[in-house]
Chain A
């Protein structure tokens, strides 16, 4: 514990400084040359990534009087969020520009959100966690309302804000009960307090825990706290949906792991059941309701809910294999999700948002390569090998069977069969139907290249998942 050891927080501080530069620079950039802000933001993320890679700690480093931690897990997850925020910028730029929404706010808010996520990931105390969470949440509320003249955007921003505020309130309330019961807000101190004094493992602590679970479940979008997910995904501009649907899932995983594994591992018997119920409900509701959707963004929203069920079941086990599976699943799911939302952006153009599933009709005739990439994402999410989504599911099932929960494993695979239907429907529309819209796809070279890299990554990681899985196992065992 070294108060003055700033090196472990260097990436965050670097990023904060760079955000200020972007913020100021953007004031002097003419609207038609907004691309300067775009490149500045990407460079900022690049520098932050470099700072992350060059400060990988040996073991676990706690700083700022133990309220901040840097370990293998934090470095891996932070690199993930930085990459996906960058992906959101690249995928989103063309679409925003085509809709006269290419403002500096998108990048600045996006970067502030990234900072919030990095703080969440490195939080070693409940208060730091809350600080990071709110930084992210405020940036997200504003991003959803980016298109402020659009009624749907404003409505979904309002809905997101009200529900998000309630969830944050619940989380804060839970934090106060945990603090009251254990006398600390730092995760290691909470864990020690529970170990040293088994008497506090009682109703007051469980009461606080229940509120923490509500907060976690809301941020993840687990049933029954999922109501905001489809509406916000649909109402926000697609680049913002891409932003919300990818990197914050990784941050939500960090929130879950830090609170439940670092802090409250002693209460695993209590929270495991809560997580299990939320996860099973998410699997069932997400997969079944997604079938009924005709809007691709709502469909992907319900599919996210279903994937959250898988992630929470992996965390539910509490074993290193389960934690590694949750990390692996989240990272790889987010790769496919970024690609899928990116494809929705790619099919849109000025004055036409490709929101309906039928916009995918005949994509194979319009652009065989892009149709192939989208097919990769869909089969990956459906869990068909050799795409990476399959290995995410395999590892999660492995972890769940490892703690002897055969029934849960069967539920997991059976609900994936239900899920396969709506992913297959996208493939069906792309390959088996005639195109309604013969227009050529309009996309910049950077978007096309990123899409190809994204699609091939889903395949390549599926064929050789070993290194990422090993990495996930290492950071999970470093817990």
Chain B
């Protein structure tokens, strides 16, 4: 029993067990007590240990093959052919690392800002972390669905208990939207199970499916993943959820949960129903461009910082779906690989940048208790160090070369040029729009004269905030300046995926 042979299980169950322990011990409802302090330390220790162990995925990963690695397989419900089947490839490892990387930051960010029931708060995040790793690692359809749905429960509570004014409306909308999206995916899963006799995802990828069924399955998957990504026009839950969620909840939502939609497209839609994916690819590209252009304009008009970042997330995630579905409109494999890799890099990069942006807003919110852009102005005068970080992340959000935001967008736009001038044209508008809405917000919040007394009294970041934003700033620059390790890690898997998609499954 080596550590590596059970590494994925450990990464899933260690945080879940840690979360359950926090729930069991509790904080007696008092955030100031020494018991609550011990809970914080435990939560941080568990999340750091998980991060440390997850590095084993990187060091032990064989980047030359597309095969599943760190595989674990135990029968689970034999009567219906479901198994506890875990494994990772070049697509899932970066996302798992992103999850284990972001969670400790979220724990640190909530350190002394969460006043009510801190033990339950940290427990919810730890359990959520385990479940999210589970989604990225599951290779069994039923197991995937269990993680996918159960993940909603901690997030429902995080938004509902620790959220803002309209938290109940927002969290119910979040839950019901995503639940509605995923139930039809369950019907598709059962259909595929009845066709193949098992819930093995890799088996589903090889099973032939008739075109009509493929179309239905694609649409069911599309509903599930489009809600998660989210794509226009099923994005409306996201601004509400982001605005009302506590900072940590917004960070996890933006940085990781949205990525599950993109992951769903590459792990399920594209390989299981490739013909239908091709059939609907024009629609997908259209919806992605609507997200980029229309939502970009919507973001421009926002008065609430969190809402602005939420809309900017939708626009940036449009690049992910665009990159994935360009494949059918490009002749030659290199362009297809470029688009797909661009989408993947964009997912990781957006995870870092949007998380950082929400943390920046959280820093301001903790001091002024307002998210309104109009309540700020001239923050740079009172918080110079914070302003430097905020501007850096805003530049990254706008896609400045040298930051991670540039790499993914640039790859996708390059791929679009190989497909069609107009796709590239509309995609490239993000360079203008993204800069416009982000930098205009920065201008109004950070620069100018000190706007009011609240801003005049602001104190610059404490050590905890320095630590979190500093780590994120470094990682945004590292991915931006040296994306090669990330791209190389994904390369064989993406090559393999594209070869697989090229084979029709209609047989």
Contacts and interface: CB of A to CB of B under 8 A. Distances in A.
A401 B216 CA distance: 14
Interface stretch (B60-68, B73-81, B351-359, B484-492): B73-81
B187 interface: yes
A417 B175 CA distance: 10
B27 to A, nearest CB: 10
Interface in A417-453: 417, 420-421, 424, 427-428, 431-432
Nearest to B24: A369
A424 B156 contact: yes
A432 B161 contact: yes
Nearest to B186: A413
Interface stretch (A45-53, A160-168, A276-284, A402-410): A402-410
A287 to B, nearest CB: 13
B146 A431 contact: no
Given A410-B184, A466-B78, A469-B80, A394 B168 contact: no
A406 B193 CA distance: 14
Contact of B168 (A379, A390, A409, A432): A432
Given A409-B187, A416-B183, A424-B172, A431 B78 contact: no
Interface in B38-82: 76-80
Contact of A417 (B80, B160, B176, B193): B176
Given A427-B156, A432-B168, A417 B183 contact: yes
Contacts of B187: 397, 401, 406, 409-410, 413
A24 interface: no
Interface in B144-197: 145-146, 149-150, 152-153, 156-157, 160-161, 167-168, 171-172, 175-176, 179-180, 183-184, 186-187, 190-191, 193-194
B184 A465 contact: no
B145 A385 contact: yes
B183 A469 contact: no
A402 B194 contact: yes
Interface string B438-470: 000000000000000000000000000000000
B29 interface: yes
Contacts of A406: 187, 191, 216
Given A401-B194, A428-B168, A432-B160, A413 B79 contact: no
Interface in A358-417: 365, 368, 372, 379, 384-386, 390, 394-395, 397-398, 401-402, 406, 409-410, 413-414, 416-417
Contact of A398 (B26, B150, B175, B190): B190
A386 B150 contact: yes
A172 to B, nearest CB: 39
A193 to B, nearest CB: 35
A413 B189 CA distance: 13
A473 interface: yes
Nearest to A425: B172
B183 A384 contact: no
Contacts of B153: 379, 384
A65 interface: no
Interface in A295-334: none
B190 A431 contact: no
A398 B146 contact: no
B194 A398 contact: yes
A333 to B, nearest CB: 18
Given A384-B153, A431-B160, A432-B161, A398 B193 contact: yes
Contact of B152 (A368, A384, A394, A401): A384
A385 B149 contact: yes
Given A384-B153, A398-B80, A420 B190 contact: no
Given A401-B191, A417-B183, A432-B168, A469 B79 contact: yes
B436 to A, nearest CB: 37
A431 B161 contact: yes
A450 to B, nearest CB: 20
A386 B79 CA distance: 17
Interface centre among A402, A414, A424, A464 (most CB of B within 10 A): A424
A390 B190 CA distance: 13
Interface string B355-368: 00000000000000
A384 B150 CA distance: 7
A469 B152 contact: no
A361 to B, nearest CB: 12
B191 A420 contact: no
B172 A368 contact: no
A424 B175 CA distance: 9
B78 A385 contact: no
A417 B149 contact: no
A69 to B, nearest CB: 25
Interface centre among A394, A398, A401, A427 (most CB of B within 10 A): A394
Contact of A365 (B29, B77, B80, B150): B29
A427 B152 CA distance: 13
A365 B216 CA distance: 45
Nearest to A410: B187
B309 to A, nearest CB: 24
Contacts of A464: 77
Nearest to B142: A394
A420 B194 contact: no
Contacts of A386: 146, 150
Nearest to A391: B77
A192 interface: no
Nearest to B162: A432
Contacts of B186: 394, 397, 413
Given A401-B194, A469-B79, A413 B157 contact: no
A394 B190 contact: yes
B172 A428 contact: yes
Contacts of B190: 394, 397-398, 401, 409
A470 interface: yes
B175 A420 contact: yes
A311 B55 CA distance: 47
Nearest to A413: B183
Contacts of A420: 175-176, 179
Contacts of B146: 385-386, 390
A421 B172 contact: yes
Contact of B167 (A421, A427, A432): A432
Contacts of B168: 428, 432
Contacts of A428: 160, 168, 171-172
A313 to B, nearest CB: 13
Contacts of A427: 156-157
5 nearest A-B pairs in the assembled complex, by CB-CB distance: A413-B183, A385-B146, A466-B77, A432-B160, A417-B180
29 contacts: A368-B26, A368-B120, A384-B150, A384-B179, A385-B145, A390-B146, A394-B142, A397-B190, A406-B187, A409-B187, A413-B186, A414-B180, A414-B183, A417-B176, A417-B180, A420-B179, A424-B176, A427-B156, A428-B171, A428-B172, A431-B161, A432-B160, A432-B168, A432-B171, A464-B77, A465-B77, A466-B79, A469-B77, A470-B79
Given A397-B187, A398-B80, A431-B160, 12 more contacts: A368-B26, A385-B146, A385-B149, A397-B186, A398-B190, A398-B193, A401-B194, A413-B183, A413-B186, A420-B175, A421-B172, A466-B79
